[in-house]
Amino acid sequence: MNKMIKKILFLIGAIFFTLLLAVFGLFSMMGIGASDCDVTGHDCSCFCCHMFGLRGYESCGDFGALLGAAVGIVVSFFIFRKINTKR
């Protein structure tokens, strides 16, 4: 198989892996934000709420999506470097 085709297929796989981790981070942090931050009578003092200017699951979900995408990009980069190193 051509080297260019292999790199394109890896890039597509890395994009899907990053998207999968971003969605996982979104939903997992939305659950945390909905149960811990968005309680009536409780002041939201987590850094996600202050960073995005939102409250509860909205801010924590955004943070989880960004964190998941960042982890996906870093892991994909290290896998790419491991595959392409000359032995």
Q: What is the pLDDT of residues 1-52, one digit of tens each?
A: 788 888 888 889 899 999 999 999 989 888 877 777 656 666 666 777 777 7
* CA–CA gap between residue 19 and residue 15 (Å, rounded): 6
Its pTM stands at 0.77
Residue 29 lies in a domain: yes
Residue 44 lies in a domain: yes
Q: Domain count of the chain?
A: 1
Residue 10 lies in a domain: no
Residue span of the structural domain in which 21 resides: 17-84
In this predicted structure, what is the pLDDT of residue 87? 55
Residue 33 lies in a domain: yes
Those residues with Cβ within 8 angstroms of residue 9's Cβ, 6 or more apart along the chain or in another chain:
none
**Tokens 């850094």, residue located:** 47
